Amino acid sequence: MTKKKLLTLSLAAALALSATSASVYASPTNAVSEKVHVNQKSKTADLITGHLTVPSNKAAKEIVFTYLEKQETLYKTGKGSAAGFKVVSETKDELGMTNVKVQQMFKGVPVFGSVISATVNKEGVLTAVSGTLVPELFNKASLKKGATVKPAAAAATALADLKANIGDDVAIDKQIGPKLTIYVDGGVPKYAYSAEFQFLYPTPGNYQYFIDAKTGKVLDSFNQMHEAKPTNGVTAPTGTNATATGKGVLGDTKSFNTTLNSNGSYLVDKTRGGGIFTYDASNRTRLPGTLWLDADNAYNAAYDAAAVDAHAYAAETYDYYKEQHNRNSYDGNGAQLISTVHYGRSYNNAFWNGTQMVYGDGDGVQFTSLSGGLDVIAHELTHAVTDTTADLIYQNESGAINESMSDIFGTIVEYHANNNPDWLIGEDIYTPGTAGDALRSMADPTLNGDPDHYSKRYTGTGDNGGVHINSGISNKAAYLLANGGTHYGVSVTAIGNDKTADIFYRTLTQYLTPSSNYSHYRASTIQAATDLYGASSAEVASVKAAFSAVGVN
């Protein structure tokens, strides 16, 4: 029997015998050895690890493509020109490994949410393939014929539905698409048009729509405010770099970088990546507003406070990712960090709109100026990191993982900056008249009505399928991993904040994919810890215990 046939049969046997993972094929040095994780929910292989190929001098993407082609029986992608993959990104990580993310294609059309994240080590060995593909597209009657609805008609249908739900007065600032894609609707893959609508009035939103390309009906829609694709374009003023001081929302004095010229002092920091820019919306709802200009480089007026914090905390978030993970801004390529404060009147929210950060002043009762919380700023900017790495779909379990990653790193950045750190989210800006409360507690998510165990998860359609609610499950796991404790009878040994952050960062950037659910999340985090500390390490044991403690097995 040839090695290829043996490998294929071994993989099939592993899938049949195990609902978690199984050793597939042990072999001598420089030969193939594999372990397959089968997703608890989907019952499909979503993580294959080990020495998946022999050492090679070929390009990483070529190694990945060759492997996927050989595994068409496992993934059921089929042979021929109809099946294919497109490289989304290729990066090197802190261990010297190359990560290649590839998009599944069918007849030249991308399959929504179907991305594989593959890792090739320094010896040219493929060590991990993470993610799932939509199988047997070549055999689906629903894809035998292409689109019959015109793109313009699909866009009109989506816009009409948006107006029916948001209001006829919705003012679209930007429309992306419609673009033809393959969308899995209730288990059936269909040709669909994908379209995005970004707007600020009557309420900020960035809605993703999928319109059936044959019937013209709305298949799905959701607000993906944190997942719009970033663009840059701000031009920095000429001038010299300077350091200024000012008082923040909570009255604390801090220093930050500015740009000086004959006009005065601009809240522009040109020393970090592509620059950090802070704007004033002047209580209007137009973005980005006016670039903040001060006469004397001393920002001590009450109106300055929101801008001081937005500017300084954006720098602290940038510094954390650069110093701890060697990441140059949220995209890894020095993207500009743009913030606007004093947005709207008494606006009780902050958001990343895909291009920049936006902060309301709050109404003074539910919130004070939302830029006054470092964990809030780091939370929102981590959504941008997620968008440019795992690109977790902002819906259902993948959306809950997306939200939790932002909570995790919002907290970690707070500890890194030693800014009155704790495991609460938004405590500095939430209900200023009430001490000790917060938007969420990672130590005890149930304090805010969120689940702390997978068995307690929300399964309704509200909150985009529970993206904020079910983030409590992952938040509790992260808290236990860093701090230790016993939960639901499972004891977890603490590994500290730094190791916890390193593991979750690697999980996010190397192994999670757009459609990851909690089962894949657990397997991915275990693999990230294995990469960093070894399969038999105490850290891996703690990761397994932390996820078991919250019911994710």
- Which 3 state secondary structure label does DSSP give 103? strand
| DSSP conformation class of 234 | P
Selected catalytic residue, list 380, 397, 403, 539? 380
Per DSSP (E only), the strands in 134-266 are: 171-185, 188-201, 205-212, 218-223, 240-247, 253-261, 264-266
| DSSP conformation class of 367 | B
**Contact assessment for residue 552 and residue 519, using Cβ atoms and an 8 Å cutoff:** yes
Among candidates 215, 217, 270, which has minimal Cα distance to 242? 270
From the number of C-beta atoms within 10 Å of its C-beta (0-12, 13-18, 19+), residue 319 rates as: middle
From the number of C-beta atoms within 10 Å of its C-beta (0-12, 13-18, 19+), residue 251 rates as: exposed
- Helix (H) / strand (E) containing 118: strand 109-120
Residue 101 to residue 89: CA distance in whole angstroms:
5
* H-only helix segments in 71-127: 72-75
- Residue appearing with tokens 């930007």: 174
Residue 151 to residue 257: CA distance in whole angstroms:
47
For the question of residue 380 being annotated catalytic, the response is: yes
Residue 401 to residue 389: CA distance in whole angstroms:
13
The 3-state secondary structure of 53-79 reads CCCCCCCHHHHHHHHHHHCHHHHCCCC
Cα 524–chain centre separation: 14
The residues that bridge with 181 in the sheet, in sequence order, are: 192
Selected catalytic residue, list 468, 487, 520, 539? 468
**Contact assessment for residue 467 and residue 402, using Cβ atoms and an 8 Å cutoff:** yes
The residues that bridge with 243 in the sheet, in sequence order, are: 257
Residue 319 to residue 272: CA distance in whole angstroms:
8
- Residue appearing with tokens 């399959």: 111
**Contact assessment for residue 424 and residue 441, using Cβ atoms and an 8 Å cutoff:** yes
Cα 399–chain centre separation: 8
List residues with catalytic annotation.
380, 468
